[in-house]
Every structure is written in C-alpha cells, then in structure tokens.
A and B are shown apart, each in its own frame.
Chain A
C-alpha cells in the first residue's frame, strides 16, 4: 500500500483513513505493507509493516538517469510543474532494469531523501517515491498494489508495471475538490487521470467522489467503487468544559477554498444579528486566512469571532469539548472525517450536502454549502431547541457504530478478490 502519511504525524484525513483501513484489513487477515515517504518511527506497527521510502536503497544508475532528465528539464523550463519525465520514460527505465541492462553493483546503492511533507520539493519527492516503488515492487512479496491519492499514483503505476500485480487506486480527494473547476492544476489532474486509467479498480470515498471520477475523469463506471470511510471507536471520553458563558459554534479544518470558510463567516453574521449569546470559532489555517480575517473585520463581528490557528491532537479534543455545534460548510468534500469525530464527542453537526460524509449520516443537519440562510437556521435550531441537540448527541452514536473500518475493509477485500 502506498500512502503519503500515516498517524501520528498527519495533516488531514488521509493519514487517519489509511490507518483505519490497514487496521481493518489486518483484522480480516490481510497483511499490509505500507510504504510512506518518511516514517518517524513512532507509527503504530502492530497491524501493519511500515516501510520508509527514504530507507530504501536504490541502484544509483536508475536514479541518476532520473536526476539527469529532471535537471535538464528544470534548467530549460524553469518551472516546477513541468520538469518531470512522463510515464513512458519511467517504463523505459523499468524495462532497462528488468532486462538487466544495468550492471548490478551493490556497493554503490544509495537512498533518496524525503521530507514526507507537502513542501516545495513535493513534485521531486513524488518522482523519487515512484523510483523507490519500482525497487520495492521488484523485491517485495505482495498480491495487490493499493495507492492512496495522487502523490502515490505514479508509484502505483510503476509498481504495477514492474510486478504485473493489479493496481487499486483509492481516491480520498480529487483535484476538482481541492481547487475547483476553474483552478485545476493540470499536472496533478493528469497524474490522477493517468493513474485512474491505468488502475484495475478505483475506490472513491463517497458516491459524490465516484461521480466526479466517472464524469470529470471519464473513467468507466464499472471499475469505480464507492468505499465510504469509517471511524476508529473513540476510547477516551471528551470532557465538556467551557470557559465562556456563550454557546460556541466551531469550524475545524483547513482554511481553504474547498472547505468553504467564508460561508461560515457569513452564517455567523446572520446569527449574531439575532442572537448575541453565541461565539464562533474558526480553528485551522490555510491560504484563505487573510481573506477570512478581513471579512470578519468588515462585518464587524470580531468580538464574537475567534481564530485559533492550526490545532493538534489534544487541542482538537478540547475544542470539541467546548463546542455546541460543529459546522462543515465544505464546497466539495469527498468524505470529511472530522464531523464523525465531532459526533463521537457528542457535538451536533451541520454539514454541507456537498460532502461524502452526508451520505452515511442520519443524525446530522445537511444543508447546501451556499445556502447561508439554511445553515444559519440549522445552527440556530440546534442552539435554541434543546431537544434537537440532545437528540443528535445521543442518537449520533448509532451513525458512528455503523461506520466500522472492519466493514469497509470487508468491502475492499471483495474488490481485491475480483483481481486475485
């Protein structure tokens, strides 16, 4: 399995999902080798074997070949997005490796460095990661290749080419979700599309995403499956603790276009006009932060609207402990795990209909992300009509109990079985 992140060091839902899925597979007796760019060593390896790509030795001549192509192109075009060789070149290299054109010389082997983050060398790391994948595909013993999100699709394709094993792609988000129709990054889009075309099966985390894969990427629908995310049972009880007398409405997530933070701000304004006894918290960081802060000031609600910046583990629990409503106004959310965490913490949720998680939740308010009136009304209803919030707080557990990773894993195994 190829994935860019794995708990505890994660930046979003992807790592959490990978963890849950591998655990669910392990419980159903499927052995998983998880290849990530840079393992920190503190990953939970009881259920899964983790390989850190940075630790894998590569025959230098393969990588030199890559490096060369890479550098030449870089100099010529001076753009980060274009310099990478296409798939055909990959296959050339692979074919050469396979036909043993390169002489083997163990003493010269070396490793790539991976930051494992989403920094400015991301594209380069994606390429290096693919080379590592080729190496692993030759040496490791496995039956299925399973790659999570575009960063690992190249690795997946190469591994399939080298090993001849079936490739399953797992779509946690598409470029359409991240950037919207008009701002597509073509480089990423193309990797996604090539990957999906090459894959034997494509798993999408929701019907919503499945539809995008079929309609926007032109993938034949018979090979696209919906595989809803699940949630790990919540072991620790979150303490309900509040430091202000007002009700608290929380947005928690990246402050980016995709997550719709500006709708949260407009909604806050609507509610504050009628009800002074509420505070709004925007927890997270992202490229829309300045825009959002400006808008809050413009609307004159800064005294009731708070920014926390990015929150980590324990802080998130604390935030849920304080919240009376959790809002996820995402414009396009392939799945969206955090409402499930909110529900686990007995916080009622208002989510946009344009989210995959809406497909699996019964005990949640669902509104269109653009319908600020409806969103405000939903939040107001939960804050003011006690029966509704306690109904969600108590019944929500039923939804959560229905979402077990073992169940998702079983569905995934059914998909695997089509190919092995």
Chain B
C-alpha cells in the first residue's frame, strides 16, 4: 500500500506599486493596493473558496480516510485578512475538522534560508506566532519557501524545532535513490525528509489541459494509473502543488475541480492507497537513508536549483543589499519598516528580476507585474532604499 501525501502551497506576495526614485524618502507606501486587492479577490473566487469547499465536502464524505496539508505564507494570509476575510474563515472550517495540517513556513515567503540563519529563524518564529493567532495551530513539520532545502538549511529547520521537512526529490541530489522513501538529514538524523515526486506533480500541473500531450485528456483514472506504477517497495508518494493549480492555473471550465474531487474520492475508496499528512510520518518508520544536499535545491524548473531567484547579477545584488539591512532591522523600532523589510524578502520579487529565460520568455507568469526584469530590479531597489532610510531613522 502506498501512502499519498498531498500538500498545497499558498504564497501570494504583496505586489509593489511603481515606486520611482523621486518617491524615496518622500513616500513610504510601496504596495499596489489595487492589484493586491484584485488578485487576492480573483484567486479567492476562482480557487481558494471553491477549492476549500470541495475539500470540506470530501472530509464530510470520507471522514478519517481523507486528509490534506497546507503551507501558507503569513503575508498571503494577511492579504486575505485585508481583502477577503472569508477565505480565512473557510480555512478555519477546514482546520477545525482535524483533517487538515498546516505546516511551518516562512512568514513572508522569504528567501532568507539562502542567506543567513538568524533571519530565517526569525521568519519561522513570526510565522508560528501568526499561525497561532490566526488558526490556533502550532506546526510540527516544515515546508520552506519553494521547498528550498540544503543540509545546512535542514539543520536550521531542526534547530527551529521541527523533525520533518518537505523538499524536492531532485534527481541530481538523489542519484540512484528514489524519492518514495523517508530520508533524513545527514548531520541531524532526527530531521526526516519527505521528498516531492515531481514527475507525478508535473503530470497534474503541466499535463492537465495540455492538448499536445499524447494521452490527453488527463483524468483521475489515468492519474491513479500513474500512481499505481510507483514500485511497491517505495511506499511514499508526495505531491506538493501550488494551491492555485486548482481553479487559477487550470480554470474551473477545464474540469480541474471534478478531476481533483474524483481523484481524492478514488484514493479514499481504494485499498491500494492511503492519504497521509506530513506529521503522520513523524511516528512512523525510521528513515531509509540519509539524503545529502550540499547545495540548495528547490522545486524550480528542470534544474531544481535556486537560479530562478538568484541566477543573475541583478538578483544577487538586490539580495545582498537586502540582507545588509539585517542589523538595522534588529535595532529599529519602526514596526512598519521592519514588516516591509520582511516582505521584501519574498521570492516573488526576485523571480521578477530573472533573465533565466532569455532570449525568449518561455514561462508566462499568471500575473505579469513588470515589463522587464530591469524595471523590476530598479523598482525593488528604490523601495529597498526607502525601507533602509526608514529603518535608519527610528
């Protein structure tokens, strides 16, 4: 029997408005309220609300057989609170059933893990606090921003009190090993690792709705067939997806809701599969082996590296300048500026500066914010400079 772990990630950034250099030190409002409102509401209507309802129905129907887990950056939850509080309520309903696990995460979808320990731990702590205040939950497993992970980051996660982390089943790290086992950090063997089966995830995110796919259309039955192909001796199938896959990447017209409902129903009824949450693994088996990740891995692209966010000189520069302000952050008492500094750590801002896909942008973002990576960079640096001044002032 295979254990199938479904984990949905939610991370919507506070999108920056066009912030010109002449706004520096004059105006401290950095965010595009209109866009943030529009996108949050749109996602709520297309994805979060109907998808939550679907999950609630499944819980009512299948009870203990059904479970699922989420990681949601605190900044996204703040967007919901601000623009669409009913989303928070609907998550509360889900959590109250006891069948939904919320994992630990960074507070602002932060890339801090790629820079330094203290900010990373601060991000984790803030997120725990926020989850406690909002949902009254305290997470026991951890899912970092974009499932970024390395041996060192693993040690930090353990230090923050977690005994399980979710990350990518990156082929270049695993080599001959299969992702369907529990692994552990080589230096901190008490930290278990659950690895993403990215091929199966791609079957859903990329293949669903792809008319050029030779097996089009994707159905729940076909997906079950793929899951069945997983070798018997490899017990875990971990599917981590952006929650927006349901309803936004694939709109409801494509039948994505029916697909998931049917997939979950079949999994619940099947005796070949059982659904689990990450924390269920904590008391389960011993790790099969260690997984050695000397360099950071993530769920990005084919390479599963961090080049999507830190691949070019602009991204590197912005990243260095950002974390130079850590001391200021620690000393400052300007709470607004401090929060904004945390928000500027969001992976999305760095993604916008990417030139990885030059000369042709082959990946279309759902919400294109900037016309070029350079505009993204300049805008970001303008904001960062003002945040710096505000942190200094206090």
Contacts and interface: CB of A to CB of B under 8 A. Distances in A.
A274 B372 contact: no
Contact of B312 (A365, A380, A385, A391): A391
Interface string A371-383: 0011011101100
B358 A385 contact: no
Given A387-B314, A387-B316, A391-B313, A274 B21 contact: yes
A376 B372 contact: no
A381 B314 contact: no
B21 A376 contact: yes
A306 B378 CA distance: 27
A385 to B, nearest CB: 5
Contacts of B38: none
Contact of B313 (A273, A274, A387): A387
A385 B359 contact: no
A362 B361 CA distance: 11
B22 A381 contact: no
A366 interface: yes
A376 B378 CA distance: 11
Contacts of B372: 365-366
Counting chain B CB atoms within 10 Å of each CB, which of A275, A376, A390, A391 scores highest? Answer: A391
Contact of A385 (B316, B371, B375, B377): B377
A384 interface: yes
Interface residues of B, number: 22
Contacts of A362: 355, 358-359
B20 interface: yes
A178 interface: no
A273 B26 CA distance: 13
A385 B313 contact: no
Interface string B53-96: 00000000000000000000000000000000000000000000
Contacts of A365: 372, 374-375
B364 to A, nearest CB: 17
Contacts of A390: 313
A388 interface: yes
B21 A377 contact: yes
A392 to B, nearest CB: 8
Interface residues of A, number: 21
Interface in B1-48: 20-22, 24
A381 B313 contact: no
B378 A377 contact: yes
A381 B381 contact: yes
A326 to B, nearest CB: 15
Nearest to B318: A387
B145 interface: no
B382 interface: yes
A397 interface: no
Contacts of A275: 21
A388 B21 contact: no
Interface string B374-388: 110111011000000
B378 A385 contact: yes
B378 A274 contact: no
A387 B381 CA distance: 11
A377 B20 contact: yes
Given A270-B22, A274-B22, A362-B358, A381 B378 contact: yes
Q: A270, A374, A381, A386: which has the most chain B beta carbons within 10 Å?
A: A381
A387 B21 contact: no
A154 B359 CA distance: 40
Given A378-B378, A390-B313, A391-B312, A366 B371 contact: yes
A388 B377 contact: yes
A376 B20 contact: yes
B280 interface: no
Given A362-B359, A377-B378, A381-B377, A388 B314 contact: yes
A376 B318 CA distance: 20
Residue among B22, B313, B358, B374 facing the most chain A CB atoms (10 A cut-off) = B374
28 contacts: A274-B21, A274-B22, A274-B24, A275-B21, A365-B372, A365-B374, A366-B371, A366-B372, A374-B375, A378-B374, A378-B375, A380-B378, A381-B21, A381-B374, A381-B377, A381-B378, A381-B382, A384-B21, A384-B381, A385-B317, A385-B381, A386-B317, A387-B313, A387-B314, A387-B317, A387-B377, A388-B314, A388-B374
Nearest 7 interchain pairs by C-beta: A387-B317, A381-B378, A380-B21, A377-B20, A385-B381, A391-B313, A274-B22
Given A365-B375, A380-B21, A390-B313, 18 more contacts: A270-B22, A362-B359, A366-B371, A376-B20, A376-B21, A377-B20, A377-B378, A377-B379, A378-B378, A380-B378, A381-B378, A384-B21, A384-B381, A385-B378, A387-B377, A388-B314, A388-B377, A391-B312
